[in-house]
């Protein structure tokens, strides 16, 4: 008998008894596989909405975004000793900005990507390279916590070349505090006030795998992210803080038990793998209703990800939304990584994140970027930003199925 193919739904854990998840499919509703052009157009419509351009222009820019990666990777190598940051700008036009240390000027360039002539502008005068800022953050982040009250994470901003320390509210004598952190680290520092609390996006929402947490005996629903493979098996990933024992709820085949392989939830990872004896496809859901599937075709490495890159995510609580990368080397606060976090996470500006989105796929078109870990919320519940684990950090021996 032909094996039933499992199609992954999108993530998060949720306490039993909450409302039916918005992304759940009615029994018998078959999801539809989007073409590459359809996937691009859907994301371009979101891009167009928040950048004030036409959908057609949005499609050109998103194509240029992917096709310009090789060029910006070359710029990283060419200017490695001076590179303070590479970022994408969207207004007043689409362009690439390169920030360098030193005073020696570099002539602006133009690259062809996605049918666009994309300007590349160079700025000089940065006080430290990205490599220096990230090294200082890694070495001193525990000491920075002692200096900065109410610290809510810290990261590198490629637009300004600064080490940004996030705080919940205005810090008294902020200039003195910034100067003290600069003296400690030897790199430029900026305090950024956030009226919010940073937390993992777990235990809310709901989707189509479920299990019981043995520590409290409560039942949780979760959803899955990208499909992965090792040498002999295919599997699905979700956040490491979902229950270990999960059952896949399939609209056509009913309940499918999943075998827990392992979880990795320290420092730079938040992921667990489950497998089944049923075949799986390299597809993922990418719309609010959960009825449109995309076939994964590639992935973006973390080191090639740029501030300003337009990306989307899909979570069972908030559905589908798109925004832009902000901090490329972020260390979440406190002990959210089984202890102090490494500065390897990537933040994405709001407006859409909420408890229940954890583990969900982060993507552009049919290209994978990562898996959502957590977010920062204001007192009113507004999403300041969410952050994700790059697919670079899938468990050893496992890779994306595409």
Whether residue 316 has pLDDT greater than 70: yes
Q: What is the pLDDT of residues 249-285, one digit of tens each?
A: 655 556 778 889 999 999 999 999 988 877 678 888 8
Opening angle at CA 221, ends 272 and 367, nearest 5: 50
- Indicate the burial class of 187 (C-beta count within 10 angstroms; 0-12, 13-18, 19 or more): buried
Rounded to whole angstroms, how far apart are CA atoms 11 and 102?
Answer: 45
pLDDT in tens, 124-161: 999 999 999 999 999 999 999 999 977 889 999 999 99
Give me the percent of the chain exceeding a pLDDT of 90: 57
Q: Quote the pLDDT of residue 168.
A: 78
> Would you say 223 and 360 are in contact if contact means Cβ atoms under 8 Å apart?
yes
Residue 276 near residue 258, CB atoms below 8 Å: yes
Q: What percent of the chain has pLDDT over 70?
A: 84
Tokens of 58: 């949005």
Q: What is the pLDDT of residue 17?
A: 20
Q: What is the reported pTM?
A: 0.87
CB-CB neighbours of 288 under 10 Å: 14
Q: Which residues have CB under 8 Å from 114's CB, separation 6+? A: 60, 61, 62, 63, 64, 65, 66, 67, 68
């Amino acid at each position: 008998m032909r094996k039933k193919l499992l199609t992954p739904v999108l993530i998060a854990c949720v306490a039993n008894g909450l409302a039916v998840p918005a992304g759940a499919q009615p029994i018998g509703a078959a999801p539809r596989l989007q073409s590459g052009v359809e996937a691009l157009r859907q994301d371009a419509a979101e891009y167009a909405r928040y950048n004030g351009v036409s959908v057609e222009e949005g499609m050109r820019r998103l194509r240029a975004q992917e096709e310009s990666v090789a060029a910006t990777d070359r710029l990283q190598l060419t200017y490695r000793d001076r590179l303070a940051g590479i970022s994408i700008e969207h207004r007043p036009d689409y362009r690439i900005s390169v920030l360098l240390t030193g005073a020696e000027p570099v002539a602006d360039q133009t690259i062809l990507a996605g049918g666009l002539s994309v300007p590349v502008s160079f700025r000089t005068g940065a006080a430290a390279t990205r490599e220096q800022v990230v090294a200082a953050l890694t070495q001193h982040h525990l000491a920075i916590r002692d200096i900065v009250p109410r610290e809510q994470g810290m990261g590198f901003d490629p637009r300004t070349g600064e080490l940004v320390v996030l705080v919940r509210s205005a810090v008294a004598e902020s200039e003195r505090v910034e100067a003290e952190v600069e003296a400690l680290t030897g790199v430029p520092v900026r305090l950024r006030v956030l009226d919010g609390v940073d937390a993992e996006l777990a235990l809310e929402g709901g989707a189509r795998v479920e299990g019981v947490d043995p520590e409290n005996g409560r039942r949780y629903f979760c959803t899955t992210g990208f499909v992965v493979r090792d040498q002999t098996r295919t599997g699905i990933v979700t956040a490491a803080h979902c229950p270990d024992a999960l059952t896949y709820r399939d609209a056509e085949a009913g309940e499918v038990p999943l075998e827990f392989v392992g979880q990795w939830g320290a420092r730079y990872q938040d992921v667990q793998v489950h497998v089944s004896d049923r075949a799986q496809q390299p597809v993922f859901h990418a719309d609010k209703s959960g009825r449109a599937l995309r076939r994964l075709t590639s992935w973006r490495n973390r080191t090639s990800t740029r501030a300003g890159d337009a990306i989307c995510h899909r979570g069972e609580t908030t559905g589908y939304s798109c925004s832009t990368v902000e901090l490329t080397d972020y260390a979440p606060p406190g002990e959210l990584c089984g202890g102090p976090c490494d500065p390897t996470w990537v933040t994405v500006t709001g407006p859409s994140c909420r408890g229940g989105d954890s583990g969900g796929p982060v993507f552009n078109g049919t290209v994978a970027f990562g898996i959502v870990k957590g977010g920062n919320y204001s007192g009113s519940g507004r999403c300041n930003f969410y952050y994700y684990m790059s697919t670079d950090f899938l468990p050893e021996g496992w890779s994306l199925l595409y």
